[in-house]
Amino acid sequence: MRLELIRSACDDGKTCPALHRTDRDSVIVQGWTVLDAELLAAMDLPAGAVEVPSGLLAGALDDLPALRQTGRGTVIVPGLAVDDPEALRHLRLPAGERAVEVPAAAFAEALRAC
């Protein structure tokens, strides 16, 4: 799977939530691993969701009902865990981060803004 960076929120240079366009008509959302099982259950989300700054998804927040705003400036994004070796080599995910794949159609508005 090939990736193209769309936008990133890299404040500290170590953890870098980001959006990547793929060659499979999907978007990879790289974010912080959500480990709080109670939070996931309360928001009716699957394990494997990621949390990203709300600003990373500017233009998509109102159009994606699957997103869950946390009330602390972040959003939880559900998706399929990325397990493609090429994509994982490209992402070089630091400890505490993971990536999920979401259909590009879900991010149509956000992608138009890029």
What is d(CA 37, CA 46) in angstroms, rounded to the nearest whole number? 9
pLDDT in tens, 44-99: 877 778 999 988 887 666 666 677 888 888 989 988 899 999 999 999 898 889 99
The 10 Å CB-count burial string (b at 16+, else e) for 30-48 is: bbbebeeeeebeebebeeb
Domain limits, the chain:
3-112
Predicted structure pTM score: 0.84
